[in-house]
């Protein structure tokens, strides 16, 4: 029976094929492509997920191998290779039906279809090139920004070291310096937040050095609006937020960490930095991952300081604070999902004020990047400047897991959902109602979800205990491989070599060395997020951290 008459045109998208096509086409918008394709066998049916009749899958895959940017200018000969299976991929545009065409018409139709296919591919290629060009520009800007940021951090560190000897006395001095707008080491990772704050305070008491800071931010305008949002939403929180810590931290630490109640008023009177820090501090990164363990291992040391029953969730919420350094303001909340208790939700908040171990660094980088993304993206979303679909497709095209940025929550939050298994082209939505989400590559998803799933989550992913995860092995290699694919997809040739190289090498390393997988994956993710998010500075630990288990 001829495949044409088989009426088998309505098949659901062959994921394998889709995957291959995606790989081949890299960043080409696969969804758009599929949506524009119709099965000639299926009367005008929009082939949302239809590519080829079932009978032609094998052939389709073979052809798919040819579908790559370099071959988009496919020659007719490419299609004349008689596979024995007429590929009726393409009728785009019109709804004209080719259903039940007789054999005599097939050849003509094939030619037409092929021509259309060529046109479509040409168009895709063109769009792809443009996408790559734009991405390249974005990466360039991001890279420059990161370089400046790193430089700033280095300068601040030097400055800090200079003052390091005079501890207590100096700390007071630092407080004054802060008030005067001079960034300090502890805040080295507050760049983004500070930038935001600066902008926000522009109409108020603009710091004298704000201009220089702004120069570091490519998304200043957006952040500016973010600040407004944050300040409105968090000023009270920052100053209030309960009693705050009555710890013996130095004033400086207090200002950058949870603000002791005694200093609340100072904050209220708010120096720009403090307000900015508050803003940053309130930016949260939430990680959802399946895990049996009570907490994730992320390389940092945590101390539980409280536990409460949260409304609407039978599972208690545990509160932890980073104990790797006195006065470290980073906190995290750990709670199981009410809907699925196998899912552990870890929310990080704050910025570390101390060096992080490699394992924690990876996590910190990722969450930091996510937070940065949030700060630069959530508002964009709020302002309608950013399209969720755009982010989904552009930033993290082939993912399964995703990051959700929410500006509607009490605090701007980035949610990294690592609970989803890799499903090509899927566009999932997190439980919460959020503005938009960004899918992570399968690799990330699988990696995070898979690996960490076991242990609590991200922490583990980036942490060290990956090797011990039994479930990990399965997702492991594929996750890494996907991470690589992903990198290719979103950071095409135009991407800074370093980013791509880092990612690939990281993933590769992960493949060959399980113990390094988390770090490698984290590096890859960081590269990805960083390159797309705008400020995902790797080493800076804007926030996050992770946990250590107990």
What are the phi and psi torsion angles at 233 (to 5°)? Answer: -80, -25
Sheet (strand 331-336) strand order = 302-309, 316-322, 331-336, 343-349, 284-290, 413-417, 399-406, 436-441
Q: Which of 52, 46, 49, 45 is nearest to 4 (CA)?
A: 52
* Identity of the residue, 133 or 232, whose beta carbon is nearer to DNA in the bound complex: 232
Q: Which stretch binds DNA (CB under 7 A): 8-16, 23-31, 127-135, 237-245?
A: 237-245
SS (H, E, C) 197-260: HHHHHCCCCCCCCHHHHHCCCCCHHHHHHHHHHHHHHHHHHHHCCCCCCCCCCCHHHHHHCCCC
Q: Which two tokens stand for residue 338?
A: 């009410």
Asked if 311 is part of the footprint of DNA (rule: CB under 7 A), the reply reads yes
Q: 322-326: which pairs have CB atoms within 8 A and are 24 or more residues apart?
A: 322/350, 322/352, 322/545, 324/300, 324/352, 324/354, 324/356, 324/360, 325/352, 325/353, 325/354, 326/247, 326/248, 326/249, 326/253
Q: Applying CB under 7 A, which of residues 118, 120, 200, 318 lies at the interface with DNA?
A: 318
DSSP symbols for 327-354:
T---EEEEEE-SS-TTEEEEEEES---S
Q: Applying CB under 7 A, which of residues 236, 269, 326, 468 lies at the interface with DNA?
A: 236
C-alpha to C-alpha distance for 269 and 277, rounded to whole angstroms:
14
Q: Which of 246, 245, 326, 235 is nearest to 278 (CA)?
A: 235
Closest distance of CB 498 from DNA, Å: 37
* Identity of the residue, 299 or 450, whose beta carbon is nearer to DNA in the bound complex: 299
Asked if 354 is part of the footprint of DNA (rule: CB under 7 A), the reply reads no
CA distances to 54, 76, 84, 86 from 79, rounded to whole Å, are: 19, 5, 11, 10
Closest distance of CB 236 from DNA, Å: 5
The separation between CA 490 and the C-alpha centre of its own chain, rounded to angstroms, equals: 12
Q: Applying CB under 7 A, which of residues 317, 338, 431, 467 lies at the interface with DNA?
A: 317
Q: Applying CB under 7 A, which of residues 145, 229, 302, 348 lies at the interface with DNA?
A: 302
Q: Applying CB under 7 A, which of residues 239, 255, 365, 404 lies at the interface with DNA?
A: 239
Closest distance of CB 364 from DNA, Å: 19
Q: Applying CB under 7 A, which of residues 154, 204, 246, 385 lies at the interface with DNA?
A: 246
Binding mask 408-437 for DNA (x = CB under 7 A): --x---------------------------
Q: Are 438 and 405 in contact (CB under 8 A)?
A: yes
Q: Are 529 and 373 in contact (CB under 8 A)?
A: yes
CA distances to 6, 106, 201 from 546, rounded to whole Å, are: 56, 60, 31
Q: Are 356 and 541 in contact (CB under 8 A)?
A: yes
Asked if 319 is part of the footprint of DNA (rule: CB under 7 A), the reply reads yes
Asked if 497 is part of the footprint of DNA (rule: CB under 7 A), the reply reads no
Closest distance of CB 332 from DNA, Å: 9
DSSP symbols for 74-102:
--HHHHHS--SS----B--SS----TT--
Asked if 237 is part of the footprint of DNA (rule: CB under 7 A), the reply reads yes
* Identity of the residue, 217 or 235, whose beta carbon is nearer to DNA in the bound complex: 235
* Identity of the residue, 334 or 511, whose beta carbon is nearer to DNA in the bound complex: 334
* Identity of the residue, 206 or 268, whose beta carbon is nearer to DNA in the bound complex: 268
Closest distance of CB 420 from DNA, Å: 25
Closest distance of CB 304 from DNA, Å: 4
- Exposure pattern of 254-266 as b/e (b: 16+ CB <10 Å)? bbbbbbbbebbeb
Asked if 390 is part of the footprint of DNA (rule: CB under 7 A), the reply reads no
Asked if 310 is part of the footprint of DNA (rule: CB under 7 A), the reply reads yes
DSSP state of 447: I
Closest distance of CB 172 from DNA, Å: 21
Asked if 133 is part of the footprint of DNA (rule: CB under 7 A), the reply reads no
Closest distance of CB 407 from DNA, Å: 15
Asked if 550 is part of the footprint of DNA (rule: CB under 7 A), the reply reads yes
Binding mask 324-353 for DNA (x = CB under 7 A): -------x-x--------------------
C-alpha to C-alpha distance for 550 and 548, rounded to whole angstroms:
6
Q: Which stretch binds DNA (CB under 7 A): 99-107, 270-278, 304-312, 469-477?
A: 304-312
* Identity of the residue, 346 or 392, whose beta carbon is nearer to DNA in the bound complex: 346
Q: Applying CB under 7 A, which of residues 32, 243, 341, 429 lies at the interface with DNA?
A: 243
What is the enclosing helix (H) or strand (E) of 401?
A: strand 399-406
The neighbour count for residue 73, using CB atoms within 10 Å, is: 11
Q: Which of 451, 452, 449 is nearest to 440 (CA)?
A: 449
Interface with DNA: number of residues (CB under 7 A): 35
Q: Which stretch binds DNA (CB under 7 A): 2-10, 231-239, 381-389, 475-483?
A: 231-239
DSSP state of 296: -
Residues from 258 through 297 that contact DNA (CB under 7 A):
258, 260-261
Q: Applying CB under 7 A, which of residues 9, 218, 244, 377 lies at the interface with DNA?
A: 244
Closest distance of CB 308 from DNA, Å: 5
* Identity of the residue, 331 or 532, whose beta carbon is nearer to DNA in the bound complex: 331
Asked if 323 is part of the footprint of DNA (rule: CB under 7 A), the reply reads yes
Q: Which stretch binds DNA (CB under 7 A): 53-61, 149-157, 301-309, 448-456?
A: 301-309
Q: Are 471 and 312 in contact (CB under 8 A)?
A: no
The upper half-sphere exposure of residue 167, i.e. CA atoms within 13 Å in the direction of its Cβ, equals 2
Which residues, listed in sequence order, are joined to residue 309 by a DSSP beta bridge?
316
* Identity of the residue, 75 or 311, whose beta carbon is nearer to DNA in the bound complex: 311
Q: Applying CB under 7 A, which of residues 7, 44, 240, 515 lies at the interface with DNA?
A: 240
Q: Which stretch binds DNA (CB under 7 A): 141-149, 158-166, 313-321, 529-537?
A: 313-321
Chain contacts with DNA (rule: CB under 7 A): 236-237, 239-247, 258, 260-261, 301-312, 317-319, 321, 323, 331, 333, 410, 550
């Amino acid at each position: 029976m001829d495949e044409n008459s088989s009426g088998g045109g309505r098949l659901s998208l062959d994921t394998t094929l889709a995957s291959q096509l995606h790989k081949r086409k890299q960043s080409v918008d696969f969804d758009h492509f599929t949506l524009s394709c119709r099965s000639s066998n299926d009367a005008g049916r929009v082939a949302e997920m239809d590519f080829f009749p079932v009978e032609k899958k094998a052939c389709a895959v073979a052809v798919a191998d040819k579908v790559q940017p370099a071959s988009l200018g496919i020659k007719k000969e490419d299609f004349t290779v008689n596979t024995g299976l007429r590929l009726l991929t393409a009728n785009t545009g019109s709804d004209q039906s080719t259903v039940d065409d007789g054999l005599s018409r097939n050849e003509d139709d094939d030619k037409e279809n092929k021509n259309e296919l060529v046109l479509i591919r040409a168009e895709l290629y063109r769009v792809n090139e443009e996408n790559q060009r734009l991405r390249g520009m974005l990466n360039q800007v991001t890279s420059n920004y990161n370089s400046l940021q790193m430089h700033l951090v280095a300068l601040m560190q030097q400055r800090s070291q200079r003052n390091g000897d005079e501890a207590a006395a100096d700390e007071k001095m630092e407080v004054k310096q802060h008030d005067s707008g001079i960034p300090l080491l502890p805040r080295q990772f507050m760049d983004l937040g500070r930038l935001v704050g600066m902008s926000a305070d522009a109409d108020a008491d603009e710091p004298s050095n704000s201009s220089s800071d702004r120069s570091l931010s490519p998304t200043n305008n957006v952040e500016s609006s973010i600040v407004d949002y944050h300040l409105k939403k968090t000023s009270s929180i920052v100053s209030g937020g309960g009693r705050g810590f009555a710890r013996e931290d130095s004033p400086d630490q207090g200002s950058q960490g949870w603000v002791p109640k005694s200093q609340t008023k100072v904050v209220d009177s708010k120096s720009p930095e403090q307000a900015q820090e508050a803003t940053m501090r309130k930016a949260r990164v939430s990680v959802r991952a399946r895990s049996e363990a009570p907490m994730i291992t992320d390389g940092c040391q945590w101390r539980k300081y409280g536990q409460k029953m949260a409304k609407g969730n039978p599972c208690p919420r545990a509160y932890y604070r980073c104990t790797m350094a006195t006065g470290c303001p980073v906190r995290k909340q750990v709670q199981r999902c009410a809907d699925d208790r196998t899912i552990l939700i870890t929310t990080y908040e704050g910025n570390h004020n101390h060096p992080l171990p490699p394992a924690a660094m990876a996590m910190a980088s990722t969450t930091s990047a996510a937070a940065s993304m949030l700060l630069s993206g959530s508002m964009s979303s709020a302002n309608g400047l950013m399209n969720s679909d755009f982010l989904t497709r552009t930033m993290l095209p082939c993912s399964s897991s995703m990051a959700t940025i929410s500006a509607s929550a009490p605090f701007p939050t980035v949610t990294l959902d690592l609970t989803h298994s890799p499903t090509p082209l899927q566009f999932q939505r997190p439980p919460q109602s959020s503005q938009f989400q960004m899918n992570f590559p399968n690799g990330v998803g699988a990696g995070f979800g898979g690996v960490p799933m076991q242990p609590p989550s991200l922490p583990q992913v980036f942490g060290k205990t990956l090797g011990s995860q039994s479930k990990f092995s399965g997702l492991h290699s594929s996750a890494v491989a996907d991470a690589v694919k992903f990198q290719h997809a979103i950071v095409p040739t135009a991407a800074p070599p370093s980013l791509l190289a880092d990612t690939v090498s990281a993933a590769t390393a992960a493949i060959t060395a399980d113990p390094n997988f988390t770090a490698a994956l984290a590096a890859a993710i960081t590269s990805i997020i960083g390159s797309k998010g705008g400020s995902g500075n790797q080493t800076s630990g804007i926030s996050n951290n992770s946990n250590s288990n107990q």
